[in-house]
Chains A and B, each alone.
Chain A
Amino acid sequence: MTAPPSPDVELVELETPIGSEWEPVFRLVLGGVADRLGLGFEELDDLQLAVERLLAEAGAQRSVKLAFELAPDHVRTHVGPLSEAPIAKALQGSPPGPGELGLRRVLETVVDSFGVEESDGGELVVRLEKRVGPR
């Protein structure tokens, strides 16, 4: 689901059931990733929120794969495949108008960049990137 990382990129992968009772699992993994990179506490919280909101919209889907690519200056998180059409509509449609608060606006706010990769089967993998702030 992800391109082979370059030599200076470390990869952590996780497949987890979806549901609020499972959120601590990926949150702890993401916390470990943040500690490894020196990501700020608030930056970690932002990234956790981004993944939480995506999974909240995953509908009846039972599980999801998460992949974290750790580079010296950023972490790139891949979430998917996701099969919910509204997520595609929300993330690939026209930009939100002034004052609209949807999934896209949330992601635009809490991560430095995001993108959507679509498979032949119409499933999505959402890419979230968070840069490590100056230390």
Chain B
Amino acid sequence: MTTSAPAPGPSGGPDRELLRRYHEHGDVSAREQLVERHLPLVRSLARRYAGRGEALEDIEQVGTIGLIKAIDRYELTRDVALTTYATPNVVGEIKRHFRDRGWTIRIPRALQELNVKMSGAVERLTVRLARSPTIAELAVELDATPEQVLEAVEAGSAYSPVSLSASPGTEDDLDLMEVIGSEDEGFARTDDRTSLEPALGELPERERRILRMRFEEGLTQTQIADRVGLSQMHVSRLIRRSLENMREALSG
């Protein structure tokens, strides 16, 4: 496998200059350029962990956090290329993510495998039937019983969500919200405890967009899935995770 990530020499090159601008002058745009330049490396490393029940783009997002930490921790006195320094950071972040998100309870392999097949079955049947399939229809498609289908769906939810407000690693790790959060003007803000909008701006852009489509534009999960290029089940998980993380952020 090859990557198109830049590989500057340890002592010079564009990376070195960008790192100097960021660390010595606080130039945030230099940091953004560094992230941009090394995203192919993150994508390449993330692909190694695909097919383990986690969407590739989520793994890439986690890997990007590792890249940002590497950039922030890089010491200019080091005579090592950023690519070399960042790789173990990115891999470590992804591994930590899988460890933290691992199956929280012991799930029989057959149910895990049925869960993995579920998303594709839902998509196929939704297209074929032009509506959301019933549990019975899914059972026939998957050659399983309705009870097994329901258990497999629940097996998927045993995959514990990572809190956006929880540092995934050591105490000095960046808070995910600090990395990806920004102001959102799409939803109004109130102090009502059951209102979630004060925390909305802390979500990644993709999640904010999905929430807007679901709760402002009234699109179904399937329609949203078509627009953002994800499965309906993935959209469902993102909506749940976003609402729960927003609530945790408000109560925390």
Task: Give the interface of A toward B (CB within 8 A).
Answer: 23-24, 27-28, 31-32, 34-35, 38-45, 49, 52-53, 56-57, 86-87, 89-90, 97-103, 105-106, 109, 133-135
User: Given contacts A27-B154, A98-B188, is CB(A41)–CB(B146) below 8 Å?
Assistant: no
Task: Give the interface of B toward A (CB within 8 A).
Answer: 122, 131-136, 138, 146-147, 150-151, 153-154, 157-158, 186-188, 190, 192-197, 200, 211, 214-216, 218, 220-222, 232, 236, 239-240, 243-244, 247
Known: A24-B158, A100-B195, A109-B215. 18 other contacts (CB 8 A): A24-B157, A31-B135, A31-B150, A34-B135, A35-B134, A38-B134, A39-B134, A40-B134, A41-B122, A42-B220, A45-B236, A49-B236, A86-B193, A90-B192, A90-B195, A101-B187, A101-B215, A103-B194
Q: Are B190 and A102 in contact (CB under 8 A)?
A: yes
Residues on B with beta carbons closer than 8 Å to the beta carbon of A45: 221, 236
Q: Are B187 and A40 in contact (CB under 8 A)?
A: no
Shortest beta-carbon distance, B159 to chain A, in Å?
Answer: 12
Q: Which of B136, B188, B193 has the most CB of A within 10 A?
A: B193
Residues on A with beta carbons closer than 8 Å to the beta carbon of B153: 31
Residues on B with beta carbons closer than 8 Å to the beta carbon of A56: 244, 247
Q: Are A42 and B132 in contact (CB under 8 A)?
A: yes
Shortest beta-carbon distance, A49 to chain B, in Å?
Answer: 7
Q: Which of B134, B197, B244 contacts A101 (CB 8 A)?
A: B197
Residues on A with beta carbons closer than 8 Å to the beta carbon of B236: 42, 45, 49
**B186, closest chain A residue (CB):** A99
28 CB-based A-B contacts, threshold 8 Å: A27-B157, A28-B154, A31-B153, A39-B135, A41-B133, A42-B220, A42-B221, A45-B221, A45-B236, A49-B236, A49-B239, A49-B240, A52-B240, A53-B243, A56-B244, A86-B194, A89-B194, A90-B195, A99-B186, A100-B187, A101-B216, A102-B190, A102-B195, A102-B197, A106-B243, A109-B215, A109-B218, A134-B131
Q: How long is the Cα–Cα vector from A76 to B157 in the complex, in angstroms?
A: 24
Shortest beta-carbon distance, A42 to chain B, in Å?
Answer: 4
Q: How long is the Cα–Cα vector from A34 to B150 in the complex, in angstroms?
A: 10
Residues on A with beta carbons closer than 8 Å to the beta carbon of B157: 23-24, 27
Q: How long is the Cα–Cα vector from A95 to B221 in the complex, in angstroms?
A: 24
Residues on B with beta carbons closer than 8 Å to the beta carbon of A27: 154, 157
Q: Are A101 and B211 in contact (CB under 8 A)?
A: yes
Residues on B with beta carbons closer than 8 Å to the beta carbon of A106: 196, 215, 243
Shortest beta-carbon distance, B41 to chain A, in Å?
Answer: 36
Shortest beta-carbon distance, A88 to chain B, in Å?
Answer: 10
Residues on A with beta carbons closer than 8 Å to the beta carbon of B158: 24
Q: Which of A52, A56, A100 has the most CB of B within 10 A?
A: A100
Shortest beta-carbon distance, B196 to chain A, in Å?
Answer: 5
Q: How long is the Cα–Cα vector from A31 to B186 in the complex, in angstroms?
A: 34
User: Given contacts A89-B192, A133-B132, is CB(A99)–CB(B216) below 8 Å?
Assistant: yes
Residues on B with beta carbons closer than 8 Å to the beta carbon of A57: 193-194
Q: How long is the Cα–Cα vector from A37 to B119 in the complex, in angstroms?
A: 22
